[in-house]
Chain A
Amino acid sequence: MSATLGKDLVGLEALSPEQIRLILDTAEPFKEVSERPIKKVPALRGKTIVNLFFEASTRTRISFEFAEKRLSADTVNVAASGSSVSKGETLVDTAKNLEAMRIDMVVIRHGASGAAQFLGDRIRSNVINAGDGKHEHPTQALLDLLTIRDKLGKIAGVRVCLVGDILHSRVARSNIWGLTKLGAQVAVCGPHTLMPRGIAELGVTVFRRIEEAIEWADVLNVLRLQLERMEGGFIPSLREYFRVFGVTHERLERARHPLVIMHPGPMNRGVEIESRVADGPHSVILDQVTNGVAVRMAVLYLLAGGKPELADAAKRGAAD
Chain B
Amino acid sequence: MRPLVLAGGRVIDPSRNFDQTADVLIEDGKIAGVGSAVGRPDGADVRDVAGQVVAPGLVDIHVHLREPGNEDEETVATGARAAAAGGFTAICAMPNTDPVTDNQAAVGFIVRQSVRAGLARVYPIGAVSVGQKGAQLAEFGEMVGAGAVAVSDDGRPVVSGHLMRTALEYARTFEIAVADHCEEPTLAAGGVMHEGLVSTRLGLKGIPSAAEEIMVARDVLLAELTGGRVHLCHISTRGSVELIRRAKERGVRVTAEVTPHHVALTDHACENYDTHAKMNPPLREAADVAALRQALKEGVIDCIASDHAPHAYDEKEAAFDDAPFGIVGLETAFGVAHTELVLGGVLTLPELVARMSTIAARVYGLPGGALQPGAVADVCVLDPARHWTVDPARFFTKCRNTPFAGRELMGRPTLTLVAGKIVHDGAV
Point out residues on A near B: beta carbons under 8 Å. 13, 90-92, 110-115, 117-118, 132-136, 170, 173, 196-199, 201-202
Cβ of B206 within 8 Å of any chain A Cβ, yes or no, is yes
A133 and B203 contacting across the interface, CB-CB below 8 Å: yes
A134 and B197 contacting across the interface, CB-CB below 8 Å: no
Point out residues on B near A: beta carbons under 8 Å. 195-197, 199-206, 208, 272-273, 314, 317-322
- Closest residue of chain A to B192 (Cβ to Cβ) is A113
A198 and B196 contacting across the interface, CB-CB below 8 Å: yes
A114 and B319 contacting across the interface, CB-CB below 8 Å: yes
Residue among B196, B314, B320 with the most chain A CB within 10 A? B320
- Taking CB atoms, residues of chain A closer than 8 Å to B322 are 91, 112
B320 and A112 contacting across the interface, CB-CB below 8 Å: yes
Determine the distance from Cα of A288 to Cα of B262 in the docked complex, in whole angstroms.
46
B319 and A115 contacting across the interface, CB-CB below 8 Å: yes
- Taking CB atoms, residues of chain B closer than 8 Å to A196 are 199-200
- Answer whether A197 and B203 are a contact pair too, CB < 8 Å, given A91-B319, A112-B322, A113-B321: no
27 pairs of residues in contact across A and B, judged by CB atoms under 8 Å = A90-B317, A92-B317, A111-B321, A113-B202, A113-B203, A113-B204, A113-B273, A113-B319, A113-B321, A114-B202, A114-B204, A114-B319, A114-B320, A115-B319, A117-B273, A118-B273, A134-B204, A134-B205, A136-B203, A173-B203, A197-B197, A197-B206, A198-B197, A198-B200, A201-B197, A202-B197, A202-B200
CB distance from B411 to the nearest CB of A (A): 32
**4 more A-B contacts (CB under 8 A) besides A91-B318, A133-B204?**
A112-B322, A113-B321, A117-B273, A199-B200
Q: 8 nearest interchain CB pairs?
A: A135-B203, A114-B273, A134-B203, A198-B197, A112-B319, A113-B203, A196-B200, A112-B321
Determine the distance from Cα of A5 to Cα of B388 in the docked complex, in whole angstroms.
38
Determine the distance from Cα of A118 to Cα of B322 in the docked complex, in whole angstroms.
12
- Taking CB atoms, residues of chain B closer than 8 Å to A91 are 318-319, 322
- Taking CB atoms, residues of chain B closer than 8 Å to A118 are 273, 318-319
A13 and B201 contacting across the interface, CB-CB below 8 Å: yes
B195 and A92 contacting across the interface, CB-CB below 8 Å: no
- Taking CB atoms, residues of chain A closer than 8 Å to B203 are 113-114, 132-136, 170, 173
CB distance from A178 to the nearest CB of B (A): 14
- Closest residue of chain A to B197 (Cβ to Cβ) is A198
A113 and B320 contacting across the interface, CB-CB below 8 Å: yes
- Taking CB atoms, residues of chain B closer than 8 Å to A134 are 203-205
CB distance from A202 to the nearest CB of B (A): 7
B314 and A90 contacting across the interface, CB-CB below 8 Å: yes
- Taking CB atoms, residues of chain B closer than 8 Å to A92 are 314, 317-318
CB distance from A51 to the nearest CB of B (A): 19
- Taking CB atoms, residues of chain A closer than 8 Å to B205 are 134
- Answer whether A202 and B206 are a contact pair too, CB < 8 Å, given A90-B318, A197-B195: no
- Taking CB atoms, residues of chain A closer than 8 Å to B318 are 90-92, 118
Determine the distance from Cα of A118 to Cα of B316 in the docked complex, in whole angstroms.
12
CB distance from A55 to the nearest CB of B (A): 13
- Taking CB atoms, residues of chain A closer than 8 Å to B320 are 112-114
CB distance from B405 to the nearest CB of A (A): 16
- Taking CB atoms, residues of chain B closer than 8 Å to A201 are 197
Q: Which residue from A13, A110, A197, A202 sits with its C-beta under 8 Å from B319? A: A110
- Closest residue of chain A to B317 (Cβ to Cβ) is A92
- Closest residue of chain B to A232 (Cβ to Cβ) is B190
- Taking CB atoms, residues of chain B closer than 8 Å to A111 are 321
- Answer whether A133 and B321 are a contact pair too, CB < 8 Å, given A92-B314, A113-B202: yes
CB distance from B287 to the nearest CB of A (A): 14
A197 and B196 contacting across the interface, CB-CB below 8 Å: yes
- Taking CB atoms, residues of chain A closer than 8 Å to B196 are 197-198
Determine the distance from Cα of A135 to Cα of B206 in the docked complex, in whole angstroms.
13
- Taking CB atoms, residues of chain B closer than 8 Å to A202 are 197, 200-201
- Taking CB atoms, residues of chain A closer than 8 Å to B319 are 91, 110, 112-115, 118
Determine the distance from Cα of A170 to Cα of B203 in the docked complex, in whole angstroms.
7
Determine the distance from Cα of A173 to Cα of B204 in the docked complex, in whole angstroms.
12
B273 and A197 contacting across the interface, CB-CB below 8 Å: no
- Closest residue of chain B to A110 (Cβ to Cβ) is B319
- Taking CB atoms, residues of chain A closer than 8 Å to B197 are 197-198, 201-202
CB distance from B325 to the nearest CB of A (A): 15
Determine the distance from Cα of A196 to Cα of B272 in the docked complex, in whole angstroms.
19
- Taking CB atoms, residues of chain B closer than 8 Å to A113 are 202-204, 273, 319-321
Determine the distance from Cα of A245 to Cα of B321 in the docked complex, in whole angstroms.
31
Determine the distance from Cα of A197 to Cα of B193 in the docked complex, in whole angstroms.
13
Determine the distance from Cα of A199 to Cα of B206 in the docked complex, in whole angstroms.
13
- Taking CB atoms, residues of chain A closer than 8 Å to B208 are 197
- Closest residue of chain B to A195 (Cβ to Cβ) is B200
- Taking CB atoms, residues of chain B closer than 8 Å to A197 are 195-197, 199-200, 206, 208
- Taking CB atoms, residues of chain B closer than 8 Å to A110 are 319
- Taking CB atoms, residues of chain B closer than 8 Å to A112 are 319-322
- Closest residue of chain B to A132 (Cβ to Cβ) is B203
- Closest residue of chain A to B315 (Cβ to Cβ) is A90
Determine the distance from Cα of A185 to Cα of B264 in the docked complex, in whole angstroms.
37
- Closest residue of chain A to B321 (Cβ to Cβ) is A112
CB distance from B212 to the nearest CB of A (A): 16
